[in-house]
């Protein structure tokens, strides 16, 4: 199934109230910020969305609300439906198809891991078949799943079984594999890149779109990067990419998930803190983070 995600897709946070319950009322503000920054689509319920810490009913409620909020707007909707339980993944995929999502995506099962490409492809085929009219992206993120199967080989073999396969959400730093994937099967597959802090390297190889968490709060940095690259101004593009790398390093030093969600709050979009097993920041920790972001120049970068 031919699709091209051109530009930025934000891997959105799942918003929580202070007691840890879903805060679906925050989604309208999340979407508004993304639209204001020219983001192409929201990728809902993925790693940034803490999907593995949500119940099936919560994931369905999250997708339903995002579909309601984005309807009639320029912001597209991509729903992550992956789960260790394939029956749950199929239920989420079917719902996303009914909601009219522009695409679905799924991680490989990662507790009982598919031991070879054939088993992985069988898993993908089962999930994708539950939404037969919706483009399907395999979500490759080996740092989280522990899956290290060849993605170029996956693309060469999966097309016959995964009828709606559109490409791969490639959250993998292996740029050699990435460029091979770009050319697999004659270049028919879309390959949105998922490592924000060096998307410029992927763009040099032919990347046209990215799915990432920092696009929630730093989209202007990447929009400038994309424009600079498009006009051949590599010096300016590298400067913006360096800002991205500094930002990611700073957030990671505080615990990335908690720091990223706190940063959303600093920008006026309160998505709460993360759920366990992710840690949260204390009030003092948030104050230190804000001071370090100010020192870095972050608020000027995104204003």
Active site positions, annotated? 139, 169
d(CA 295, CA 303): 15
- Contacts with 116 (C-beta within 8 Å, 6 or more apart), sequence order: 149
* Chain center to CA of 283: 28
- CA distances from residue 206 to 95, 174, 210 in whole angstroms, order as listed: 33, 14, 12
- DSSP E strand boundaries for 111-155: 136-140
- Contacts with 118 (C-beta within 8 Å, 6 or more apart), sequence order: 157
- Cα first-last separation, the chain: 38
d(CA 195, CA 100): 27
Count CA within 13 A, CB hemisphere, residue 108.
Answer: 29
């Amino acid at each position: 199934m031919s699709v091209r995600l051109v530009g930025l897709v934000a891997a959105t946070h799942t918003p929580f109230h202070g007691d840890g319950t879903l805060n679906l009322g925050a989604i309208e503000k999340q979407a508004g910020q993304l639209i204001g920054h020219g983001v192409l689509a929201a990728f809902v319920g993925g790693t940034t969305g803490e999907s593995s810490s949500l119940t099936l009913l919560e994931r369905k409620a999250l997708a339903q609300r995002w579909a309601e909020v984005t309807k009639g707007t320029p912001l597209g909707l991509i729903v992550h439906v992956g789960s260790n339980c394939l029956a749950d993944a199929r239920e989420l995929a079917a719902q996303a198809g009914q909601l009219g999502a522009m695409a679905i995506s799924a991680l490989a099962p990662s507790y009982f891991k598919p031991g070879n490409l054939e088993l992985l492809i069988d898993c993908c085929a089962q999930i994708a078949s539950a939404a037969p009219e919706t483009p399907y992206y395999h979500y490759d993120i080996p740092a989280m799943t522990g899956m290290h199967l060849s993605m170029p080989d996956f693309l060469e073999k999966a097309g016959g079984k995964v009828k709606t396969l559109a490409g791969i959400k490639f959250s993998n730093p292996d740029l050699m594999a990435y460029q091979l994937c770009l050319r697999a099967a004659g270049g028919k597959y879309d390959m949105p890149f998922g490592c924000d802090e060096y998307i410029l390297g992927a763009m040099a190889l032919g990347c046209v779109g990215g799915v990432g968490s920092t696009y929630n709060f730093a989209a202007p940095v990447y929009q400038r990067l994309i424009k600079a690259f498009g006009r051949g101004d590599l010096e300016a593009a590298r400067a913006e990419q360096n800002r991205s790398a500094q930002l990611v390093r700073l957030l990671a030093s505080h615990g990335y998930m908690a720091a990223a969600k706190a940063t959303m709050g600093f920008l006026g979009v309160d998505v709460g803190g993360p759920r366990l097993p992710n840690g949260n920041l204390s009030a003092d920790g948030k104050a230190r983070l804000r001071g370090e972001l100010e020192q870095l120049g972050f608020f000027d970068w995104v204003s």
